[in-house]
Structure 1
Amino acid sequence: MNYTLHQLEIFLKTAQLQSVTKASESLYLTQPAVSIQLKKFQEQFKIPLFEVVGRKIYITEFGEEIAVAAENILNEVKAINYKALSYQGKLAGKLKVAIVSTAKYVMPYFLADFMNENKGVDLIMDVTNKAEVVSALENNEVDFAMVSTIPTNLKINRIELMQNKLFLVAGRNYKFKGKYLSYSEFKKLPLIYREQGSATRLAMEKFIDSRKISTYKKMELKSNEALKQAVISGLGCSIMPLIGIKNAIANGELQIIPVKELPITTNWNLIWLSSKNLSNIAKSLIEHIETNKEVIIDRHFNWLGKY
């Protein structure tokens, strides 16, 4: 047998995603390139690794065993590379971060320079809702988490990064009278919520409940992007983080509806367990962010001051 590490990587990614299309996107390859390498890899085995039914690919039992072996081999290769870089005095290894979905508009900017300066660091960033982010941190599955609401049940250390402002927004065709939308008019709005466990949902409910506003819940959606598109289409209104709707506001797809006591202002925080035995990579990232935080904010987020 004469298969390559490249073929192992392609087969493993295809097995994990069960899709040639998704594997090619994940590996930044064309679909034909992935298909060719899968064919060459399969030719080295007399037993089928996968079968195609319709347009869907299914991994066989034998294929699943090969996928496990491939993952082990690739992990060992990464370990060798990490050790080689470590002996050269460079940072090497994995950095695991869990972030709430709206933080995807923020966290990459705080990581970009650090990752570019440390080529031996592999970033694994999970984007999910607040409940799952906190769970990953509590179970020591990640080095850091980025949230706008600090979990009260955990002993954590944190770096306060920047403000997070949430406004009431509507599609371009919504019309209202006066300087501010009254609470009586607010009650009539068909509101679209994020799912339970979302920090945006929590902030929105806290604002509405504290003012005893009886509202009409139109629907709930599981991602900030889906929520944004629903509001743009005119399905309803929502209270959303400004950070994720900059372009939609700039091109007129969304409009901010002025309401007294809005925006809601929270803060983005990078957090980690106080008891966490931090790796050299984690310690270096903390130092990098503490040193460069203000420069990063000024370079990438100074537009927030206009709102």
Structure 2
Amino acid sequence: MNYTLHQLRIFSQIVEKQSITKASEALYLTQPAVSIQLKNFQDQFPIPLTEVVGRKLFITDFGREIALSAERILSEVDGINYRMQSFGGKLAGRLKVSVVSTGKYVMPYFLSGFMKANTGVDLVMDVTNKARVVQSLEENQVDFALVSVLPDHLKLKKASLMKNVLYLVANPNHYKKILLSKKMFVKDTPLIFREPGSATRAAMETYLNNAEIQVGKRIELTSNEAVKQAVIAGLGCSIMPLIGIKNELKNGSLEIFPKRSLPIQTTWNLVWLASKKLSPVATAFLEYVEQEKEQIIQRDFDWFEKY
């Protein structure tokens, strides 16, 4: 056996992403480079690590066993590097954060200064749907999660970051006349929802139920970006977080339509398991957020006040 740490990292990414293309993107390598390293790694084993069925890559049972060993080896190597830096008086380690999809417009601003000040810290940030975020908390896979609605079945601690505001928006070229009328919606005005379990969808449904609004045509999409593009294209209107539509409001492809009891306001919360013992890196990040959040909000989110 003569495999390298580089090959182990590449194979771990391939297993995690279930794709050579996505692994190459995550590693900032070309696809051919990743394919060559996978072949060189495979050549050292008499049993297949992967197989391709119908142009789709699958990891074999043996491959998954090797991936688990690779993760342990890489974790030990990272641990050696972190301990070396710590002995030099440098904050070092890994910070893992899981973020709901809309939170990708928020979390980087609260991470940027911390990461620049602590070059020995490695960041792993997973942007996904709420169900996966909650699962990552339940299974203790992350230090923190960013959510706007707290899961009520977990014992959590939280640090409130900033407000999350949701408005009724539409492409003004398609729905302006209808949405400026006294009626909230008419039968032929489609309303675009996120998937079940999404905090944005829950906020929309609560609002519609409380206002006793009957929705005619419903469209369901599985990401905030998909909803935004559908609204821009004129497929319908939606109640969307302000945080994700700044540029579209500025260029006029979306417009906010004021209605009674809108906007909806929630809060972005950084949460973690109440029973979790935070690492030195996680503790330092939490202290940073508490000290700097007001300045971050004033510097990067002052445009909220225009709406």
Query: Residues 178 and 185 of structure 2 are in contact (CA less than 8 Å); yes or no, is this contact kept in structure 1?
Result: no
The alignment partner of 2:173 has SS state of coil
Query: Residues 95 and 143 of structure 1 are in contact (CA less than 8 Å); yes or no, is this contact kept in structure 2?
Result: yes
Query: Residues 99 and 127 of structure 1 are in contact (CA less than 8 Å); yes or no, is this contact kept in structure 2?
Result: yes
Look up the equivalent residue of 2:189 and give its one-letter code: L
Query: Residues 177-192 of structure 1: matches in 2 within 5 Å?
Result: 177=177, 180-185=180-185, 188-192=188-192
Q: Does 1:210 align with 2:203?
A: no
Query: Residues 161 and 268 of structure 1 are in contact (CA less than 8 Å); yes or no, is this contact kept in structure 2?
Result: yes
Query: Residues 112-151 of structure 1: matches in 2 within 5 Å?
Result: 112-151=112-151
What is the CA distance between 1:201 and its match in structure 2? Answer: 0.7
What is the CA distance between 1:270 and its match in structure 2? Answer: 1.5
Residue 10 (structure 2) aligns with: 10
Q: Which stretch has the larger CA shift, 250-259 or 152-161?
A: 152-161
Look up the equivalent residue of 1:278 and give its one-letter code: L
What is the CA distance between 1:236 and its match in structure 2? Answer: 1.1
Instruction: Indicate how the Cα distance of structure 1 residues 50 and 195 shifts in structure 2: closer, same or farther if over 3 A, else same.
Output: closer
The alignment partner of 2:255 has SS state of strand
Query: Residues 188 and 215 of structure 1 are in contact (CA less than 8 Å); yes or no, is this contact kept in structure 2?
Result: no
What is the CA distance between 1:71 and its match in structure 2? Answer: 2.2
What is the CA distance between 1:243 and its match in structure 2? Answer: 0.7
Query: Residues 120-269 of structure 1: matches in 2 within 5 Å?
Result: 120-177=120-177, 180-185=180-185, 188-269=188-269
What is the CA distance between 1:58 and its match in structure 2? Answer: 3.9
- % identical aligned pairs: 61
What is the CA distance between 1:297 and its match in structure 2? Answer: 1.3
Q: Which stretch has the larger CA shift, 149-158 or 212-221?
A: 149-158
Query: Residues 52 and 58 of structure 2 are in contact (CA less than 8 Å); yes or no, is this contact kept in structure 1?
Result: yes
What is the CA distance between 1:137 and its match in structure 2? Answer: 3.0
Residue 27 (structure 1) aligns with: 27
Residue 298 (structure 2) aligns with: 298
- TM-score, normalised with respect to structure 1: 0.89
Q: Could you tell me how far apart the structure 1 residues matched to 2:258 and 2:184 are?
A: 14
The number of aligned residues is 307
Instruction: Indicate how the Cα distance of structure 1 residues 211 and 141 shifts in structure 2: closer, same or farther if over 3 A, else same.
Output: same
The alignment partner of 2:176 has SS state of coil
Q: Which stretch has the larger CA shift, 199-208 or 32-41?
A: 32-41
Query: Residues 185 and 215 of structure 2 are in contact (CA less than 8 Å); yes or no, is this contact kept in structure 1?
Result: no
Instruction: Indicate how the Cα distance of structure 1 residues 181 and 118 shifts in structure 2: closer, same or farther if over 3 A, else same.
Output: farther
The alignment partner of 2:236 has SS state of coil
What is the CA distance between 1:188 and its match in structure 2? Answer: 4.9
Query: Residues 93 and 120 of structure 1 are in contact (CA less than 8 Å); yes or no, is this contact kept in structure 2?
Result: yes
Q: Could you tell me how far apart the structure 2 residues matched to 1:60 and 1:268 are?
A: 40
Query: Residues 129 and 199 of structure 1 are in contact (CA less than 8 Å); yes or no, is this contact kept in structure 2?
Result: no
What is the CA distance between 1:153 and its match in structure 2? Answer: 4.4
Query: Residues 191 and 215 of structure 1 are in contact (CA less than 8 Å); yes or no, is this contact kept in structure 2?
Result: yes
Structure 1 gaps of 5+ residues are none
- TM-score, normalised with respect to structure 2: 0.89
Query: Residues 93 and 121 of structure 1 are in contact (CA less than 8 Å); yes or no, is this contact kept in structure 2?
Result: yes
Structure 2 gaps of 5+ residues are none
